[in-house]
Structures are given as structure tokens and as C-alpha cells.
Structure 1
């Protein structure tokens, strides 16, 4: 029977129990995927004694099927294109999507990274945390971006996910910690009593509290 978390903080506490091998390691940094992953990651970072930062990633969706990713963009001008879907788009189509997502990435970076140093992952073990895996497209993009930013090892950690998304991430991350993979997955929100849409203000408040 699937576990239902009270909220994202509860899920973060459960996730931290599976990451105790990382406690005390100076090379570890916890990266929250915004916005839903921030509260989960804040608890994880606190419990394992690692610094918390955020990773703003924007999936690049195929124009006629936005849920299908042909790549992703991240901080510092990082851009990753997949071999499959990207090959079916012409440069003008790619550029149009990239420019739109760059604008949203810049907006979120401006909000969330105010006063923070640019993300530097050289030599680090990056633990990417989100509140769940549905298709896995955004998380896969985050793994690729994190590698481009210099991470030595990439761990993807989530409280719940679909089997398909899990298999997708196992092929790209160095390690995937997924607490449960229900056979009749449905949607991430089904495994939370409180799964409200996280606001920009909540993200900023959580990051401010982490100092």
C-alpha cells in the first residue's frame, strides 16, 4: 500500500532517512528543483547537514506537444538538446522555444537567486530533490544541466515516482533514490494530503529561512 505524505516537509523527512550515507560529507550540496522541490529539499539538507541551493531548469518542449522535451536550459547559459525530438525541429522552432524559456528562467533566477552566488558544482556530489517524478523529463533535464555545471556525481532523490520515470532517471543519474514507485502511479499529488501549488513567495521564504 502506498504511503501518503502529510505535506512536502513530511516527504522530505522520509527522504532524508534514506540519505544518511551522505551525512558529514563536505562535497555534498542539495539542489532543490523549483518550485515544488524546495520544501522537500530544505528538510533533506537540514537533516543530512548539507548546504541547500536551488536549480532553476526549464524544459524545452516540442511546440506541438509541450510535454515532450527536446532539451533543457539552465543557469550560466547551459543548454542541452536531446538526440531524438530535437532532430525533428528546425533551428527557427528551437530558437523560439529557447528564447521563451530563457525569459522565464531569468525571471525565476532573479527572484530566487537574489543575493546568492552563481551555482558552482565543480567537484561536488549534487543531490537533486523534487517532490515527485511523473514523466521524469524535467528531472532528466536537471541531471544533464547539473553535469554541465561540473558536478562530479549526481544523485536524484524523490519521495515518489512512476516506474517509467524511475527507469528513465536510472539511465542518466549516478544514483536514484525513489522511496516508492506505485504500479498504478497516476499523479504525484495523489501521494500528498497537502499538495498545494507552491508560490514564488513560499520559495523565497524557505530560502531566506535557510540563510
Structure 2
């Protein structure tokens, strides 16, 4: 098992060293992926941004994920959702997700747009991939913005899911690919959910370090 997100990032980051010459952009998926993305970006000396994606779940059933929506409206739906849930109901979930996405963009990025990804190497980072919906929506966002190369980096993802994701990105960098994998928590000894305050703390730390590296005038 991995001790915590910090240890996960420390093991994952060196595996990405070969991308340094490509001057990558690190896109973290909040909330859980924020800490891992921050530490990976710090190791690589690469800029970090949070790509806001909202999981779509059935009402009252947080574990019943039916898809995900990215901030550019890239939408991923499960086959079950496509065939069994009426379109008006799905549209309601999408409308609710858009509100939450706008709220998080305002909170985490102060309403700033993501930078241009055109022809850039983008490393998408999360603390684990269970269903893959939020990651796939983020991949679509990168494609829609003409990213040059898309890398997915994560401490853990199920074996079968990895095979599917490999078809959608240029490369996957992963520490563990268990055959039986139900939830990200099973990979960590210490897996505390991150809240908005935790995310903002990491963002502030990143910004302070970034400003400290800027040459004085």
C-alpha cells in the first residue's frame, strides 16, 4: 500500500523526468489530485493548473457515477446512463454540474481561464483512477484544446481501466495496476478526503513558491 498522497507523488514524479525537456504543463484534478499534482509539478519545475471536472452521480447515490463533465463542457457518460436514463434527467445533472464547476473555477482559479494547451505536452495528474470518468472528461478537454501530447500520471488505476485509457492518451504512467480495484482508498494507508480549504492551502503554497522563484526587479 501507498502511505499517503505525498509518498505517491514522490514515487510517481521521478517516472516523469523524461518529459522535462518537453516543458510540460501539469493539470491536476481536484480535489484529491491537487496534492499529487502540486508535488509532481514542483519536482518537474512545471507550471500547475487545476482542471475542473465534476462527476455526475445519481441523486442520493454518490457512488452511482453515470459520467463526468469538464469545464469546457466535454461530457463523458457511461453506457448505462446512455441507455437507461432519460435525456431530460441527464440534462438536469449536467446543469447542476455546470453550477458546481463555475463555483470551483471561481474559488480555485479566481475565474481565470486555463492557459493555452495548443501543441503543449500536458500531464494529467490524479491521486487514483477508479471509474475513469473525470479523467476521460479531462482528456477530452485537452483534445479539444489541441494539446500536442497527453500523458496520464496516477499512483493507481485498475488493470482493465488502464487498457482502455491507453487508447485515449499518448502514455500512462502509473505505480500500481491491481486486477481487483474498486476504490482509490484501498491503495492508501492514509486517505483523508480533501476539502476546499485543503485545496486552497495547496494552491496558495504553490503561488508563494512560484513568486519566490521570480527574479526580483
Contact 1:136 1:168 in 2 (8 A): no
Alignment of 1:21-170 (within 5 A): 21-26=18-23, 28-61=24-57, 67-70=64-67, 72-75=68-71, 77-82=72-77, 84=79, 85-86=81-82, 89-114=85-110, 116-170=112-166
Q: Find the aligned partners of 1:101 and 1:167 in 2 and give their Cα distance.
A: 28
What is the TM-score normalised by the length of structure 2?
Answer: 0.84
2:172 aligned partner = 176
Show structure 1 runs of 5+ residues with no match: none
CA distance 1:82–1:134, change in 2 (3 Å): closer
**2:3 equivalent to 1:6:** yes
Show structure 2 runs of 5+ residues with no match: 208-217
Q: Counterpart of 1:30 in 2: which secondary structure?
A: strand
Q: Find the aligned partners of 1:132 and 1:191 in 2 and give their Cα distance.
A: 8
Contact 1:162 1:182 in 2 (8 A): yes
Q: CA deviation at 1:9?
A: 1.3
What is the TM-score normalised by the length of structure 1?
Answer: 0.86
Q: Find the aligned partners of 1:137 and 1:54 in 2 and give their Cα distance.
A: 16
Q: CA deviation at 1:96?
A: 0.9
CA distance 1:15–1:153, change in 2 (3 Å): same
Q: Find the aligned partners of 1:201 and 1:89 in 2 and give their Cα distance.
A: 35
Contact 1:34 1:54 in 2 (8 A): yes
Q: Counterpart of 2:127 in 1: which secondary structure?
A: coil
RMSD: 2.3
CA distance 1:167–1:69, change in 2 (3 Å): farther
